[in-house]
Amino acid sequence: MRSFDRIKSGIPDLDKSLDNIRLGDNVVWHVSELDEFRLFVKPFINQALKDHRNLIYIRFAYHEPFVDITPEEQEILNQRDPNSDELYTMIQRENGLKIYQVDPSTQFEAFTVAVHNIITKEGRFSFYVFDSLSELQVAWSADLMMGNFFRVTCPYLFKLDTVAYFPLHRGSHSFETIAKIRDTTQLLIDIYSEDDEIYIHPLKIWNRYSQSMFLGHKYNKEDQSIEVLTDGVGVSRFYQVLNKSSAYHNEQTTDNWDRFFTLAHLQYRNGEDITDKCDRMCKMMISKDSHMFQLVKENFEPSDYFEIYNRLIGSGMIGGKACGMLLARKIIKNKLPEEYKRLEPHDSFYIGSDMFYTYIVANHLWDLRIKQRTKEGYYVEAKKLKKELQNGIFPEEIRENFKRILDYFGQTPIIVRSSSFLEDGFGNAFAGKYESVFCVNRGTFEERLQDFENAVKTVYASTMDISALEYRNRNHLEDIDEQMALLVQRVSGSYYEDYYFPTVAGVGYSYSPYSPLPDMDKKAGMLRLVMGLGTKAVDRTQNDYPRIINLDKPKVVTMTSMADRHRYSQHSLDVLDLKEISVKEHPVSEGLEVLPRYAKNEVVEHDTEIEERYKEQGHPREVVFVSCQGMVNNKVFTNMMQNILKTLEENYNFPVDIEFTVNIGQQHSFVVNLVQCRPLSISKSNENIEIPKIKDNILFHIKDASMGRSRRENIDVIVTVDPHKYYEFPYNKKSNIARIIGKINDYYKHENINLMLIVPGRIGTSSPELGIPVTFADISDFFAILEVSYSEVGYVPELSFGSHLFQDLVEADIFYGALFEDETRLVYDTHLLDQFPNQLKDIDSTLGDEIYEMVDVVEIKDGKMEFYYDMKKDEAISYYGK
């Protein structure tokens, strides 16, 4: 067989009228009812079997099948193994017909990949019959994704020289969707019927032409004859039937998605009970997760769903981040009306999850996406796909919707935030895995539109970041449909000359996994506050330390000396620079210069010790540092945040974390903008661990400086980095150490052993002079990580729960400990490891001697290195025993 060879349809007159169906053709039959399609598909099936074709029926709909399926066969088709990688079942009959059943409720990507895999498996020259494409619209709630399925499946079938029949219901789809199908398929044929009269009207027949091909045809189902309508009477009757067809006149300018919401809103305005439609709207737009669905149902009113719909671009889900933000605000409004009055109103837009795949399809990236979904291509193809996602082009209809967003916000700064299917859900926070991009929103309209489009592309491309892929892989989510929706928010803040930023921003937790001071209530919650944009509250960046507030005793500080409080404070802030049109980091002194006095008083604290010295020298001056002390002293604020956190936790029935901004007014007034809320992963343990009383061969023994669940483990490999040698290592090469740790992590990844990492300073910082700038992917397979203080060169650990890295450690069940140079460090003896050889050369023999002297990889083979951690007492010990 060859490409474009003629085949038999089972109806000789049809072959004559169409100049034959050819290998490679996709044939879409546009029908008013499926019985019309059956007239043409049954002869096709019979002919294919007679000709010994490899015939496949793809079954996915609820309508009656196009081939008779016995109860016994259906029982087999229904027995898909939920643990199987294949999302379909198959039976094969003696006559050669294969029936595949695929579940469209698995959503677009999983379903489409499953069909792609079937087509790949069956190979070239196969013949296909598909259930009604219109049923996919029902399963996915929108024409858009059904059209995307066809636009990626049809070319693949064409490439393999197959022949495929697809039915499509007339009157159920938008003109735009029909146009896209017409552009993609090789044959599009309209069927009209009235009583026993059947009419065929070819609309598109690719790569062939005759004088009568596109005229109306009358089909006689008794003898399967076809008559070309050339006489006036026959043509008149054809158009009479066509015009009497209600389906012809019901073609839509909007698709099923918009029609559903329009009808639901009309019923709501007429006072009808739309409870069932609200449930459907929740599953269509907000969340399919049973827990979140129930919370939304309990707290949302019908008007809330329509408000979301009115600000939704495209169709599909708004994603986890948007869902969490909206739900939290609604719970506060319902349960804490007085606190709600201090919240800024939100006016966000949502770019629906369907837009993500539409962008992929429009830029012809689906084949690359399929390759990336395989085990072999999961990481390799991701690099290519990331680049292509960053450089794609948006279809004009999507760009028009982007313009609508920019028209609304004008020149107010905005932020484009990821809001994927799985993000901010129970057990999978994806904290910091996907990008959020600030748009300063300055310049001409075209420049602002270009910046906005680039921001959207950046978030889309971040789905292929190594950290996101590693996170999904570690949490067994690599095969789960993870569409990317977007949350577009107005950046909360004020204009200060050439800067724009909120006075204060931060994160809050209803439960703190560690107590900065003894006798503090972990369940009281905690805050991390910074001046300026909230990026410094969630990232371990440079020489900055957020203000930690335990809401049990907000005014209590961990450092008693003023010098330490000044040193370990915030020294720079992130702002939107209106001149540079970008996010910029500036010294806090520059930010304080532009703040009005009433706002400055809320964020600074006086260094009274240095001020006293200046005064004694006869040069009195003001010396301040950023500690958000005014907010700490504001009981209205701290009580409000504690009430919000506790109320959200009670309603979620789970600890939560939130992100927020605070804009400060005169006379200690303020307004809070709640921008994010999600379930908080915390370490839990019912295991009772008794710390052994050991005096000799102790590697470390610490108290009140750890985080994680109680555990007892044997350590197989310990990786250490010498603080002094790391300090002396050239600055521009320090990031190489992060890559070496990543290589060690990968080397032992599949060995089923316990690895411990001990490093100087703050791991995961963006500043190599403060610690090793690893990403989570570099340390994902270590079971324990300890940071070592080394004051001689300025390395200081930071128990920075609330940062994205620490959230990763908690979710991955990785123990964290800090080896401070204070009373919390009872013992630390690295000489205990000197008896073991360094295995780093076995892992990588190409490194320099200075690396082998700095990074030590110890495998514990003779004897055992034991590790104990008691979560209740916050005490950890590790020792070596024969």
Better-predicted residue by pLDDT, 473 or 217: 217
What are the tens digits of pLDDT across the range 639-660?
Answer: 999 999 999 999 999 899 899 9
Better-predicted residue by pLDDT, 326 or 706: 326
The mean of the pLDDT values for the chain is 89
CB-based contact 429:807 (threshold 8 Å): yes
Angle of helix 320-335 relative to helix 290-299, nearest 10 degrees, comes to: 40
**Among the listed residues 195, 141, 191, 145, the one whose alpha carbon sits nearest the alpha carbon of residue 166:** 191
Q: Sign of dihedral through CA atoms 582, 586, 590, 591? A: positive
- Alpha-carbon gap, residue 632 to 394, rounded angstroms: 46
What are the tens digits of pLDDT across the range 136-188?
Answer: 988 888 888 999 999 999 999 999 999 999 999 988 888 888 888 999 999 99
Amino acid occupying residue 95:
N
**Among the listed residues 348, 347, 366, the one whose alpha carbon sits nearest the alpha carbon of residue 356:** 366
Buried b (16+ CB within 10 A) or exposed e, 507-545: bbbbbbbbbbeeebebebbbbbbbbbbbbbbbbbbebbb
The dihedral over CA atoms of 137, 141, 143, 146, expressed in degrees to the nearest 10, equals -50
What are the tens digits of pLDDT across the range 567-581?
Answer: 888 999 999 999 999
What are the tens digits of pLDDT across the range 116-135?
Answer: 999 999 999 999 999 999 99
* pLDDT at position 847 over 90: yes
- Alpha-carbon gap, residue 798 to 771, rounded angstroms: 11
Environment class of 847 (CB within 10 Å of its CB; exposed 0-12, middle 13-18, buried 19+): middle
Q: Which CATH architecture has domain 311-491?
A: 2-Layer Sandwich (3.30)
Q: Hey, what CATH topology would domain 498-679 get?
A: D-amino Acid Aminotransferase; Chain A, domain 1 (3.30.470)
Write the DSSP string, 789-854: -BTTTTB-----BTBHHHHHHHHTT-EEEEE-SSTTEEEE-GGGGGGS---HHHH-TTS-HHHHHH
pLDDT at 541: 56
* pLDDT at position 248 over 50: no
Q: What percent of the chain has pLDDT over 70?
A: 94
* pLDDT at position 371 over 50: yes
Average pLDDT estimate for 723-738:
91
Q: What percent of the chain has pLDDT over 90?
A: 62
Q: How many Cα atoms within 13 Å fall on the side-chain side of residue 305?
A: 28
**Among the listed residues 402, 308, 390, 377, the one whose alpha carbon sits nearest the alpha carbon of residue 346:** 308
**Among the listed residues 827, 791, 294, the one whose alpha carbon sits nearest the alpha carbon of residue 564:** 791
- Alpha-carbon gap, residue 664 to 502, rounded angstroms: 8
Beta-sheet pairing, 624-626 with 825-828: unpaired
CB-based contact 740:514 (threshold 8 Å): no
pLDDT confidence tier of residue 249, bands split at 50, 70 and 90: very low
pLDDT at 281: 95
User: Which class would CATH give 6-249?
Assistant: alpha beta
Bridge partners (DSSP) listed for residue 496: 499
**Least confident segment among 300-309, 543-552, 573-582, 830-839:** 543-552
Q: What is the DSSP letter of 285?
A: I
